């Protein structure tokens, strides 16, 4: 019974902690006795303590508050043990994959909440519900990571999607934010319907929803006729729904902006190929910066964990492997090419994020344990780099840095901050021997190990292209002319920035099995990337 409580305690804790945060905010923010105080900072610290109970405390007062909240929530969750025993054994599974992805998700949530403090002050945004709506979808994503049944998987996706729609449109006075929330709601509902339809077709063809039962049916017997067609279509719709959720090509191109402030496309915009307008970068640009960081990381962690479980336990990994193979190539190519045409910082990071999703899906395309291992390493490094990049952008929001050219004064105004920013972006684009390069190193070698030579070749070529595209940010911050005076906020995120920098540097010799081979590969690939980047730069200058 105690082990069962340990298994369900993170979800139970977050569930009741969110309710307590909501009640606390409603009672005190509407109290005339306290003169209707804004509770963004207060609720934010409580949310940070909720997400990271052991590390985010300062002083005896907050330590006492931490233990008090913990005892209250443990007492509230105790009656649920009997229900959880029946519920948990059939629908969810606890293993090392679950623990790894849940810890990574909670760390990303803590980083997002820490970014919300300064963002709320700069944007003059005093709604405490914004902070509450960050731990709430985290609880659903924790359930989804451990889901081992298609019904549990779908029921975990829907609550998190509803919260994402609200926080994407949290800036009600901004047309960009309203548009982002509307697009996310329409397309999210569409993708959820596709996902549910795929699950229902699989259930109608097999009569099972549990992953173990599906694995026995699909691997132990030969399925032919109409039943085979129903299973194939169900897997196809399931993959389309997943790819919609992680903003993968070509399922990120559904609608375009029709408002007056978006200029019409020009012939030079043919770089987008068949994705002339993409909803994911529009949502990332219109949402507040902490929300953009959260949307870029958190849903991908939960969905990648669930797809990894499907691939590992063999229910229908072979069919998904073929689908992800082609979508990985499309995401890497279009993500790198679209990033080259961007002039705004957040849109550039959004397109780079979409390209990184293609790199990470390379692990699924391998169909091997080494591919899944490299995928988990890639998710961890991608989450670290993305949080650091958006935290830096959030710290520059006081001067409304919007375009890449606005970063020209960063190196002169704050050299240490510019170094942190440059190192983060160098790792983001895969400069050896930083963490981003290690991620691609493992993924591409896993692809070579399973015989996917074309996939590895496309990954290397698109890495060269993305190096020139995303490398503009550190280059402009160092050598660009100052177009404005950059004021870096003295935020609580600076220690987090340096923590991410130390993570980047700690992966210098992470290929421990053969360090000499790793260093030689670093030097060779670095030379290839340098020459390729210069060639692409000359072509675009012509």
**Which of 87, 120, 150 is the endpoint of a domain?**
87
Residue 102 included in any domain = no
Residue with tokens 């870096």: 488
H or E segment and range at residue 32:
none
Taking alpha carbons only, the member of 349, 353, 352, 356 closest to residue 375 is 356
Taking alpha carbons only, the member of 429, 398, 423 closest to residue 506 is 423
pLDDT at 416: 73
What is the total residue count of the chain? 542
As given in the structure block, the two tokens for residue 225 are 């006729």
Contacts of 9 (CB under 8 A, 6+ apart): 74, 77
Domain assignment of residue 51, given as a range: 2-87
H or E segment and range at residue 529:
helix 515-541
Question: What Å distances lie between residue 416 and 119, 406, 424, CA to CA?
Answer: 21, 18, 12
335 plus 481 within the same structural domain: yes
Taking alpha carbons only, the member of 244, 260, 107 closest to residue 189 is 244
Give me the residues of the chain with pLDDT under 50, please: 1-5, 34-42, 53-82, 85, 253-277, 490-499, 501-529, 531-542
**Which of 61, 87, 113 is the endpoint of a domain?**
87
Determine the Cα–Cα distance for residues 163 and 65; give it in Å rounded to an integer.
27
Residue 190 included in any domain = yes
Q: Phi/psi zone of residue 367: left (φ > 0), alpha (ψ -120 to 50 degrees), beta?
A: left
Determine the Cα–Cα distance for residues 425 and 497; give it in Å rounded to an integer.
12
Residue 161 included in any domain = no
Contacts of 397 (CB under 8 A, 6+ apart): 118, 119, 122, 123, 289, 489
68 plus 210 within the same structural domain: no
In sequence order, which ranges of 78-149 are alpha helices (DSSP H)? 81-91, 96-122, 129-132, 135-145
Residue 341 included in any domain = yes
49 plus 181 within the same structural domain: no
State how far Cα 377 lies from the chain centre: 14
Phi and psi angles of residue 207, each rounded to the nearest 5 degrees, phi first: 75, 20
Contact 375, 304 (CB under 8 A): yes
pLDDT at 343: 80
Residue 519 included in any domain = yes
pLDDT at 274: 38
Phi and psi angles of residue 264, each rounded to the nearest 5 degrees, phi first: -70, 155
Residue with tokens 């949080």: 387
Count: domains in the chain: 2
509 plus 374 within the same structural domain: yes
Q: Would you say the C-alpha torsion 25, 29, 34, 37 has a positive or negative sign?
A: positive
40 plus 184 within the same structural domain: no
As given in the structure block, the two tokens for residue 364 are 């699924």
Give the number of other Cβ atoms within 10 Å of residue 64's Cβ.
11
455 plus 327 within the same structural domain: yes
Residue 206 included in any domain = yes
67 plus 175 within the same structural domain: no
Residue 402 included in any domain = yes
Phi and psi angles of residue 480, each rounded to the nearest 5 degrees, phi first: -75, 155
Question: What Å distances lie between residue 326 and 219, 273, 332, 367, 453, CA to CA?
Answer: 24, 16, 10, 14, 13
Q: Would you say the C-alpha torsion 367, 373, 374, 375 has a positive or negative sign?
A: positive
pLDDT at 531: 47
pLDDT at 449: 86
pLDDT at 122: 60
DSSP state of 147: B
Peptide bond into 433 cis (omega under 30): yes
pLDDT at 222: 52
pLDDT at 523: 46
Determine the Cα–Cα distance for residues 104 and 100; give it in Å rounded to an integer.
6
**Which of 43, 59, 87 is the endpoint of a domain?**
87
Contact 43, 131 (CB under 8 A): yes
Residue 476, classed as helix, strand or coil, is helix
Residue 82 included in any domain = yes
Quote the pTM value.
0.76
332 plus 208 within the same structural domain: yes
As given in the structure block, the two tokens for residue 192 are 């959820």
């Amino acid at each position: 019974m105690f082990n069962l409580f340990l298994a369900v305690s993170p979800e139970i804790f977050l569930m009741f902690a969110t309710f307590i945060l909501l009640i606390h905010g409603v009672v005190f923010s509407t109290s005339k006795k306290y003169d209707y105080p804004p509770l963004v900072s207060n609720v934010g610290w409580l949310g940070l303590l909720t997400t990271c109970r052991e590390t985010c405390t300062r002083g005896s007062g907050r330590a006492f508050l931490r233990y008090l909240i913990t005892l209250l929530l443990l007492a509230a969750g105790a009656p649920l043990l009997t229900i959880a025993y029946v519920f948990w054994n059939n629908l969810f599974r606890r293993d090392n994959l679950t623990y790894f992805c849940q810890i990574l998700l909670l760390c990303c949530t803590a980083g997002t909440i820490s970014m919300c403090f300064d963002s709320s002050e700069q944007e003059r945004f005093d709604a405490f519900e914004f902070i509450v709506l960050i731990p709430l979808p985290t609880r659903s994503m924790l359930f989804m990571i451990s889901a081992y049944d298609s019904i549990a998987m779908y029921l975990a996706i829907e609550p998190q999607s509803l919260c994402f729609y609200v926080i994407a449109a949290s800036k009600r006075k901004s047309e960009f934010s309203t548009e982002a929330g509307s697009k996310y709601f329409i397309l999210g509902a569409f993708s959820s319907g596709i996902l549910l339809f795929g699950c229902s077709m699989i259930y109608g063809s097999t009569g099972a929803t549990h992953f173990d039962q599906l694995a026995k049916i699909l691997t132990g017997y030969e399925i032919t006729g109409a039943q085979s067609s129903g299973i194939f279509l169900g897997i196809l719709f399931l993959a389309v729904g997943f790819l919609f959720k992680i903003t993968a090509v070509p399922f990120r191109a559904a609608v375009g902006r029709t408002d007056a402030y978006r200029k019409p496309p020009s012939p030079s915009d043919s770089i987008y190929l068949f994705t002339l307008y993409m909803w994911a970068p529009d949502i990332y640009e219109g949402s507040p910066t902490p929300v953009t960081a959260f949307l870029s990381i958190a849903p991908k962690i939960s969905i990648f964990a669930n797809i990894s479980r499907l691939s590992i336990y063999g229910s229908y990994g072979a069919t998904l492997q073929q689908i992800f193979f082609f979508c990985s190539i499309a995401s890497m190519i279009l993500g790198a090419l679209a990033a080259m045409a961007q002039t705004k910082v957040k849109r550039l990071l959004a397109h780079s994020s979409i390209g990184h999703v293609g790199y990470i899906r390379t692990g699924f395309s391998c169909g091997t344990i080494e591919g899944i291992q490299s995928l988990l390493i890639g998710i961890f490094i991608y989450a670290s780099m993305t949080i650091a990049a958006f935290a830096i952008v959030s710290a520059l929001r006081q001067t409304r840095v919007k375009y890449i050219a606005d970063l020209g004064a960063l190196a002169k105004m704050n050299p240490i901050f510019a170094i942190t920013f440059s190192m983060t972006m160098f790792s983001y684009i895969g400069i050896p021997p930083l963490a981003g390069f290690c991620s691609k190193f493992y993924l591409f070698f896993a692809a070579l190990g399973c015989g996917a030579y074309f996939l590895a070749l496309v990954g290397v070529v698109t890495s060269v292209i993305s190096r020139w595209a995303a490398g503009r940010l550190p280059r402009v911050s160092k050598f660009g002319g100052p177009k404005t005076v950059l004021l870096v906020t003295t935020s609580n995120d600076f220690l987090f920035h340096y923590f991410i920098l130390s993570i980047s540097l700690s992966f210098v010799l992470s290929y421990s099995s053969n360090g000499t081979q790793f260093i030689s590969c670093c030097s060779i690939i670095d030379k290839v990337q340098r020459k390729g980047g210069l060639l692409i730069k000359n072509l675009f200058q012509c």
